[in-house]
Amino acid sequence: MTDWLLFPYFALPAGLCWFVGAGFAFKTNGFRRAIFFTALGLCLFCVFMVGLWISLERPPMRTMGETRLWYSFFLPAAGLVTYISRRFKWILSFTALLSFVFVCINLFKPEIHDKTLMPALQSPWFAPHVIVYMLAYATLGAATIAAVYLLVGKKKRTTDEETISLCDSLTYVGTAFMTVGMLFGALWAKEAWGHYWSWDPKETWAAATWTAYLIYIHFRKSQPKRRSTAALILVGSFLLLQICWYGVNYLPSARGRSVHVYGQ
Amino acid sequence: MWILPWGYREGWTICTGLTLTGLAMQNFVGEFDVAAMPYPVNVAACAILAVVAVTVHALSRKYVVFRWFSSPQASITALAFVLFMSVIEGLGVATINSWAFTLVFAYLLLVLAAVVMRRLRKPKLKRDAGFVFSHAGLLLALVAASLGSGDLQRLRMTVARDAAEWRAANERNELVELPLAIELKSFDIDEYPPELMLIDNETGETLPRGKPTNVLIEACPTVLSLSDWEIEVVRYLPAAASVMTKDTAFFTEFLSEGATSALFAKARHKTTGVSSEGWVSCGNHVFPYRSLRLSDDESLIMPPRKPKRFASEVRVYSKEGESRESVIEVNRPLKYEGWKIYQLSYDESRGKWSHTSVFELVRDPWLPAVYAGIFMMLVGAIFLFLSSTENQTYNKKNKE
């Protein structure tokens, strides 16, 4: 049985693995070891998540703490895939760092870890909806890291071209996942709440976020040379995503009106 | 501005113009009411949109101006306005049912239709498949969802046990007669095991403040820890009645309607060693709730039991006199005579012993079109996912 009390024993070694892996990425001939350590960290983290799923007897996706768990897992995973396919040596450090921030939030601010799941959430759509969304958030988080790197780093035409092309790839993947997550949500909502779209605050912000990423994709296609503007659009879109993900829980307009606010 | 070829400026101006027109209409005509667009008005609106789109498309061969409507600049500016308005809606200012949003949205549909038709002029399977699936799918889903909402009926029906009901209330609380009837045979709730929590004796707030914790009592007897207290659950009665004596109350097994749940607990403070014991019950409409006072500040309580699953056993009748038995539960609606019947609620004051069940009945004749659009978008998303690697070569080609 795994529960939240065991979280530090899995999360801290996993985080350590990710940082060691990120360190090897900067070394010559460190490619394989970087992959090994990042993957090892992911395995450790995955064991905890599977254990938690079993002990809760439901998918660990209801509370914010539980969704942060998925985010902490998918972010280094997205970083690893990017690293393997593109060999950007800096990507692993950023994904490890961002992921560890979310691990720390779970370590220092544990929320109620309630086993119960309301009937509307007991659906085969629940797991795919949340997993695909968390994958999207993680990939788009990685895209944002690349965009910030482009905005802050030294301007060089060749490397900038490479970085923005990485942004494109990550945004395509992230937006594809986000589209699937949103549409799965719509299909589920039809079965559970009677309608596929009801401008629930979370849905409204999801629509805004989705539109923002569409703007980025269209802008890149039509104005490929305006890289900094594109990077700014990407950062702005990610801010909208934050409101959609957890910001709505704090918006007075969403209080008591959203089917997406659980917990208390 | 307005010098050919058009660019972003013209896009921003058109959208601003539509928004201002919408605001003016809001003043003179009032709120835009989707419900006021049932068949055949919505079909007419759809036809008008199609005619305008086809005209724009046909004229774009001859005149450069019309080609602009299928440009990225037109798409980006229209999307930006939709984004802006949904953010305002998200901040709590109702925007979606305004004329401004409706006009900008209709304009976005026009641009989308122009884009799709332009791409379909000389289609190449490999190059255009993903593009057409995502754009045409989005167009279909948006058109069907927005125009279809005029024909959407959502009604709420409350049915008492052993009675049949064929009337339901709409959003304006008017009773509507239906071509079907529902008879409630029985209503069942499965509950999660009881929970225990601490509350502040003075304020009634759940503890610890801000992030209350609760424990689920899955076994009995058991010992658990709740904040600074060690709690031993000695007895658990899933169906109980409270019995009053001269100076105290206790609980006893009660296996009939109206029973509540109760448990007997012994609590000991981990550091001070202060202890107390007694019954704790969540109570219901028949029996009062009971808490266990642990100290001057804290009490142990059992919050109302949470439903795990609730379901209605029903018999549905059609107007032709046919009937059929079925079970309706959350996430498992029943399809009957073109309606979808959802388990919505029950008499929450009676909880487990509710004698009524509340259903939502939904009829949405445009749903197949929306689903077709959604399906196309899902295929489009797969193409988008796959194109993430192609895009590298695309950029390399651009560089050369």
Kindly determine whether residue A172 and residue B385, on different chains, have CB atoms separated by under 8 Å: yes
Confidence category of residue B245, pLDDT binned at 50, 70, 90:
confident
Query: How far apart are alpha carbons B156 and B171 in whole angstroms?
Result: 8
Residue B55 has pLDDT above 70, yes or no: yes
Segment B152-198, tens digit of pLDDT: 999 999 999 999 999 999 988 999 999 999 999 999 999 999 999 99
Closest CA to A246 of A195, A192, A209: A209
Higher pLDDT residue, B36 or B18? Answer: B18
Does residue A33 register a pLDDT over 90?
yes
- Lookup: tokens for B169: 């209330």
What is the predicted pLDDT for the residue at A68? 86
pLDDT number for residue B240: 94
Report, as an integer, the average pLDDT of B341-359: 92
Mean pLDDT within A221-246: 95
Complex prediction ipTM? 0.88
User: pLDDT, tens digit, for every residue of A82-120?
Assistant: 899 878 888 899 889 989 988 988 888 665 556 678 888
Residues of A in contact with B76 (CB under 8 A): 215, 218-219, 222
Flag if B212 and A222 touch (Cβ within 8 Å).
no
Rg, Å, chain A Cα set? 19
Q: List the single best residue of A3, A214, A226 to mutate versus B (max B Cβ within 10 A).
A: A214
- Beta-carbon contacts below 8 Å between A and B: 147
Contacts of B83 in chain A (CB under 8 A): 208, 211-212, 215
> How high is the pLDDT of residue B145?
95
Antiparallel, parallel or unpaired: β B292-293 and B275-281:
unpaired
- Tell me the two tokens of residue B400: 């050369």
Give yes or no for residue B84 having a pLDDT over 80: yes
Q: Facing residues of B265 across strands?
A: B233, B278
**Which of B363, B371, B395 should one mutate to test binding to chain A, selecting the residue with the greatest count of A CBs within 10 A?**
B395
For residue range A17-28, list pLDDT tens digits in order.
999 999 999 998
Residue type, A136: A
Task: Judge: A192–B360 Cβ closer than 8 Å, yes or no.
Answer: no
Predicted confidence at residue B389, as pLDDT, reads: 73
Q: Which residues of A touch B82 (CB under 8 A)?
A: 211
Cα–Cα distance for residue pair A262/A67, rounded to 1 Å = 12
CA–CA distance, A91 with A143 (Å, rounded to integer) = 10
Contact (CB, 8 A) for A105 and A164: no
Two structure tokens written together for A26: 């900067």
B92: how many CB neighbours lie within 10 A of its CB?
15
Domain boundaries, chain A: 1-110, 120-264
Task: Dump pLDDT digits (tens) for A139-177.
Answer: 999 999 999 999 998 777 778 898 999 999 999 999 999
Q: What is the pLDDT of residues A192-203, one digit of tens each?
A: 888 999 899 999
Calpha distance A245→A257 (Å, rounded): 16
Percentage with pLDDT > 70 across chain B: 97
- Residue A260's alpha-carbon distances to B85, B175, B346, in angstroms, are 21, 30, 21
A1 token code pair: 């049985």
What's the rounded mean pLDDT across residues A62-69? 82
3-class secondary structure for chain B? CCCCCCCHHHHHHHHHHHHHHHHHHHHHHCCCCHHHCCCCHHHHHHHHHHHHHHHHHHHCCCCHHHHHHHCHHHHHHHHHHHHHHHHHHHCCCCCCCCHHHHHHHHHHHHHHHHHHHHHCCCCCHHHHHHHHHHHHHHHHHHHHHHHHCCCCEEEEEEEEECCEEEEEECCCCCEEEEEEEEEEEEEEEEECCCEEEEEECCCCCEECCCCCCEEECCCCCEEEEECCEEEEEEEEEEEEEEEECCCCEEEEECCCCCCEEEEEEEEEECCCCCEEEEEEECCCCCCCCECEECCCCEEEECCCCCEEEEEEEEEEEECCCCEEEEEEECCECEEECCEEEEEEEECCCCHHHCCEEEEEEEECCCHHHHHHHHHHHHHHHHHHHHHHHHHHHHHHHHHC
8 A C-beta contact, residue B214 and residue B205: no
Residue with the larger pLDDT of the pair B10 and A66: B10
Quick one: pLDDT band at residue B252, thresholds 50, 70, 90?
very high
Interface test with B, best of A4, A108, A114 (most B CBs within 10 A): A114
Give the tens place of pLDDT for each residue, A111-138: 555 667 888 888 888 888 988 898 899 9
The confidence score (pLDDT) of residue B392 equals 53
Q: Which residue of B has its CA nearest to A176?
A: B381
Average pLDDT, chain A: 88
Average pLDDT rounded to a whole number, residues A178-189: 95
> How many CB atoms sit inside 10 A of residue B275's CB?
13
pLDDT tens across B101-137, in order? Answer: 999 999 999 999 999 999 999 899 888 999 999 999 9
| pLDDT for the residue A256 | 62
pLDDT of A1 reads 46
Q: Could you count the other beta carbons within 10 Å of the beta carbon of residue B283? A: 16
What is the pLDDT averaged over residues B212-230?
A: 88
Indicate if the pLDDT at residue B391 is higher than 60.
no
- Between A119, A123, A179, which is nearest B381 by CB? A179
pLDDT of the residue at A2: 55
Q: What is the pLDDT of residue A113?
A: 57
Q: Are B305 and B282 in contact (CB under 8 A)?
A: yes
- Distance of alpha carbon A78 from alpha carbon A80, whole angstroms: 5
List CB contacts (< 8 A) between B370 and chain A: 196
Asked if A224 contacts B397 with a C-beta cutoff of 8 angstroms, the reply is no
Contact B79 A222 (CB under 8 A): no
Task: Kindly tell me if the per-residue pLDDT of A243 is higher than 90.
Answer: yes
Q: What token pair was written down for A228? A: 């900094």
Q: In what order do the strands lie in the sheet with B334-336?
A: B323-329, B307-318, B175-191, B164-169, B153-160, B356-363, B339-346, B334-336
- Answer whether B73 sits within 8 Å of A119, measured CB to CB: no
Give residue-wise pLDDT tens across range B132-157: 999 999 999 999 999 999 999 999 99
Joined tokens for residue A196:
């596929």
Which span out of A1-5, A71-75, B312-316 was modeled with the highest average pLDDT?
Answer: B312-316
| B64 Ramachandran zone, left/alpha/beta (phi>0; psi -120 to 50) | alpha
Q: Is the per-residue pLDDT at B50 higher than 90?
A: yes
Residue B381: closest CA among chain A residues belongs to which residue?
A176
Q: What is the mean pLDDT of residues B362-367?
A: 95
The model's confidence at residue B394, banded by pLDDT at 50, 70 and 90, is very low
Instruction: Report how far residue B256's alpha carbon sits from residue B239's, in angstroms, rounded to the nearest whole number.
Output: 8
Q: Is the pLDDT at B399 greater than 60, yes or no? A: no
Q: Which value, in Å, is the radius of gyration of the alpha carbons in chain B?
A: 31
The answer to whether A197 and A105 have CB atoms below 8 angstroms apart is no
What's the gap between Cα A117 and its chain centre? 23
Q: pLDDT category, A57, cuts 50, 70, 90?
A: confident
The whole-angstrom separation of Cα A258 and Cα A188 is 16
| Degrees, nearest 5: CA angle B284-B289-B294 | 155
Q: Is the pTM higher than 0.90?
A: no
Mutate to test the interface with A, among B190, B358, B384, B398 (most CBs of A within 10 A): B384
Confidence of residue B244 (pLDDT cuts 50, 70, 90): confident
Nearest chain B alpha carbon to A179: B381
Distance from CA of A57 to the nearest CA of B (A): 12
